[in-house]
A and B are shown apart, each in its own frame.
Chain A
Amino acid sequence: MSDTRSTADTTSEDTARKATRPRVGLFATCLMNVFRPSVGFASVKLLEEAGCQVEVPDAQTCCGQPGYNSGDSDSARALARQVIETFENFEYVVGPSGSCMATIRHDYPVLFADDAPWRERAERLAAKSWELTAFLHDVLGAKIPEGARFAHAATYHDSCSGLRGLGIKGQPRALLAGVDGLNLREMEDTEVCCGFGGTFCVKYPEISTKMVDDKIRNALDTGAEVLLGGDLGCLMNIAGRLKRINAPLRVYHVAEVLAGMASGPGIADARKESK
């Protein structure tokens, strides 16, 4: 930006530019909020660098998926109404989770199938709700911040909800291709469930463990040092099992790597020092 411009010019230009910057509501998923706030800050950084104004509405809690998938559609509807009211005035809603965003995009309109006014609102919200990497790549055509560097061999786990619900497959990979030094190695059965499945992993722990062991074996077979993915549920499941069996693979959310914010400990890694 030129130094010679007057303050007044800059201000009006800023205002004009601000007017064209899409106003994005960040959907702060429950797991991210509690376990991995850095995923939220990485998402904000990526969105802001791609030219968005990001807000994090305080009135948000959960998308309602735990209720919906447990058969409690009434609870899911109550939460869906809350999400709709909280986010419907944004130009876009973006969340760093294929699973939560698939709930908003696909399940909300279904939940209100017999309730026309709410169904319309749900459909309008669904149409502008995006998983982070899909939004960056498909909507904004974003480039990865210059200087994003991650000099590691990594493998990418395709989380099921994002993959099959939202068609997320190429987007994170295309974005990761812009990260300097990153060497992506595809694992066998990368599209097969890791055994998380929300409450499945606590209701059927033996089956879940068998599935995550299969996932880990495939990931280790690639020789990668790092496993990446777009959903914290899967990543916490994989990281938790990796720690328990002392397997040498670190785990990050893809947003952390894309934003150049993956220099600290991975998920479930020891802190270097306590603060």
Chain B
Amino acid sequence: MTHIHLLDPRTSADPDLLGGKGAGLVTMMRLGLPVPAGFVVSTVACREFLHTGRMPPGLEAALADAVRDLTATVAPTHDEQASPAPMHDPNTATAPEHNRQATRTPNTATPPGHDRNAAPAPNTATAPEHDRQATPTPNAATAPGHDRRVARVSVRSGASVSMPGMMSTFLNVVGEIGPVRDAVEAVFASWHSPRATSYREVHGIPHDLGTAVVVQLMVFGDLDLGSGSGVAFSRDPRSGDRTPYGDVLFGHRGDDVVSGRVATRPLGELAEREPEVWAALLDGLGRVERHHRDVCHVEFTFEAGRLWFLQVRPGGLAGRAAVRVAVDLADEGVIDRATAVRRVSDRQLRAARTPRIRAGAEELARGIGASPGVASGRIAVTADRAARMAAAGPVILVRPHTSPLDMHGLAAAAGIVTTIGGPTSHAAVVARSMGRPAVVGAAALTVDPDAGCVHTPAGSFPEGTVITIDGTGGEVVAGDPGSVTGDADPHLDRLLSWARAYG
């Protein structure tokens, strides 16, 4: 049997075979959305590889054919250096990457506006650290000045269950059988990395599922200033409000969007700068939402003004936002009331009562909510000052990241903000252990201990300025707007009344 399935509207969108990512891509193609060309190596092939330690018979030959077919149309006859005009042939388009793994490599993104021939960094693969040394380097040929007429592909894992960042991903792989085979094998093998094994053990995921591997032509969000990457929700994940919401980075690839290394811009800026991309994005969000009958979350890249969808996930909202979406979808006739009630778990109802920041305050930055709750206090930019200032009232400690030298500041602070780092960073772990609200990766903020202030896009704020943080949604706002709980939420009231009716 063949283990290779084309990304094609006629392919069956079976997540058990194609993985969640692959099935989502096929679904989007069926909905008429632009998805970079590619194929999926199935979970069946992975299971056989994991069982025998070898690629299944015939897979290499089939893979060679698939790679050849995928890249055949790419080698353009024109010389890119002579004609730098953006390519609009869908077959030459390539796909970006939204890899959530906490890659240890420093920011390898090239600055916006770079010449496409001045390739990104020599090795932009985001192999997870566990097999950094053991795995081959499929994209070793990606050196500055390389021949751009050689097709580049992304090779990404996609299990049928969510295992974010646990397996390998390779970007910018040379589109030839050798490098692609090595990358596919490395992704397969990463299923058994100790880190992935621990994740499955803890979260009760069977060890024998295996992962599919998605191979797609690369698209480059860092091609020029008419390119970029982003994530978008079809509705506001903070409130459930019927407004598309997300982040965009102009001139960057997708891995920068989710890394917390680069300050993103609000999604709405796309409307002004790239109205055609914006229109196509809204259209796509509407279609995936109608298809899934639920709020959806997509990852996208636009290359030279052209939009590509890279991933879709339905659902995933928490607390009050989940309640609001369920009630609104019922009101809109998309789902019935019984379905709305079923969708909101008891846990989500409890989460709906978690205090959230009151809307309307000036947002200074947004990072990742790493420890839930709302906290207000005066800015302190060093642990020493946080410990001293805390005697006179609540303090929010704002640091680039934290180390043991910050322990007393962490203990003294009512809330913690870091400008870099992710939800598993030290600051996040310590904040949760102390029950303190925390926002991590608020990349729009710059801590200036010498001047004793925090720089934001809205201006600089000296130590002592009151700010409020929301460790659920990741917001950092000026002043103290207060917080709200879900107890007086009209959507929650309606959902509960339906629940009683369907009790």
A and B interact physically: no
Q: Hey, which bits of chain A sit against chain B, CB under 8 A? A: none
Chain B residues packing against A (C-beta within 8 Å): none
